[in-house]
Amino acid sequence: MDPITLIAGATAAYNGLKSAIAAGKEIQELAQDLGSLWTAVGQLTQLAATPPKKGLFSNPADIERQAMERYAAKAKAFKMQEEIKNLFISIYGINAYESVQREVIEIRKEVDRAHREEERLAAERMAEIKDAAGLFAIVMGLIGAIAIVGILLMIKLNH
């Protein structure tokens, strides 16, 4: 995604969070907007870390503009994230914020473990398929060899 789209999503989440926190909503009700904001910040951080795409006819001004857009979007997203963090802490306390952060880390670890397990199972299935295909090829080769020997024997016996 481009930085303008990402910052628009982050801004929407930020505005929703500010309104919800100001209205005294419970932490559970903020989860979706918090997740959206942190996801957008993460995506902007990744985007800012990747070098701009250089096209065949791109000029230095386009590349600089693209880099500036990325930087500005990332800076704005971090500022919004920091403001929400401070607002969140002022209402719910540092312990609640740290608890949410620990939970985010645990969920990410769980998702990462699940992805690794899925990849391991997929690799095992692929190995099983390769083994079965190899066994099938050997069996078909043996059947073909037996058929050829049988045909040669029949020809020899008929002459």
pLDDT, one tens digit per residue, over 71-112 is: 887 788 788 878 878 887 887 889 988 998 898 889 889 999
Q: What are the percentages of helix, strand and coil residues in the chain, rounded to 5? A: 90, 0, 10
Q: Confirm whether 100 is domain-assigned.
A: no
Q: Confirm whether 145 is domain-assigned.
A: no
pLDDT of the residue at 41: 75
Domain tally, the chain: 1
pTM, to two decimals = 0.54
Closest CA to 41 of 12, 5, 78: 78
Q: Confirm whether 159 is domain-assigned.
A: no
Q: Confirm whether 99 is domain-assigned.
A: no
